Amino acid sequence: MDITNLTFLFYGYSAGWIIITLFVLMLVARGRKIDGELARLKALVEDRER
């Protein structure tokens, strides 16, 4: 087996999974922000109602 080709196979698959992981991390970060904001606003609304 040609070792260079194996190296590039590794590069290819790692790059692919890194892209997906980064996208997931982006989603998680945005999700956290949204959850925090939602909790804050809900508390605010309840506060005002009392």
| Residues at the interface with another protein (CB under 8 A) | 1-2, 4-6, 8-9, 11-13, 15-16, 19-20, 23-24, 27, 30-31, 34-35, 37-38, 41-42, 44-45, 48
CB of 9 to another protein, least distance (A): 5
CB of 20 to another protein, least distance (A): 7
DSSP states of 16-31? HHHHHHHHHHHHHHHH
CB of 34 to another protein, least distance (A): 5
| CA 37 – CA 19 distance, rounded (Å) | 27
SS3 content of the chain, % helix, strand, coil (to 5): 95, 0, 5
